Amino acid sequence: LDVHFGEMNGKRGILFASNRSGKDPSLPKLDTIIPEKVFNIYFYSLDDTINKIEKLTEKIFTNARYPTFFDKKSVLFMSEESGMVNIKKLNVDTNQESFLTNGDRNIIRYTYAKDQNILSSTYYQSGSYKVRNQTISSEYTIKPDPTP
């Protein structure tokens, strides 16, 4: 689900979210339409001939969804780890995750304009949808307050 095409660490590939389980990220023998497990982020290399699928996140109790490429070494995704759905950045070289948003409303969807370094996210408040735009750089991070 949530497919995004691009390049990571010099390899062309597909970034996607899946609820497959176990350490082996290969295609499960049984797939259901109802999500039974949490979603993680995977990278499917179009350049490698073996070990094409790489699991990028190891979520146990929260979902990682809607991945997109941030730069050649990082990906963005939505996560509800803080108690609200916010956007996180994962450096695939160091496996370090950091929050980019700390909204008081769940983010519904987001998009990242690389050429302008603008992260746009939509959320629902007071009966209408709103858009939040923020300029971010590769060093930008925040620490969200967990919801009570």
Residue 29, pLDDT score: 57
pTM score, two decimals? 0.85
Task: Give the chain's mean pLDDT.
Answer: 86
Cα torsion for 110, 112, 64, 145, to the nearest 10°?
A: -80
Model confidence pLDDT, tens digit, residues 121-146: 999 999 999 999 999 877 777 776 65
Q: What is the DSSP letter of 115?
A: T
Model confidence pLDDT, tens digit, residues 75-84: 999 999 988 9
Model confidence pLDDT, tens digit, residues 25-67: 565 555 556 666 899 999 999 987 776 889 999 998 999 999 9
Give the chain's largest Cα–Cα span: 51
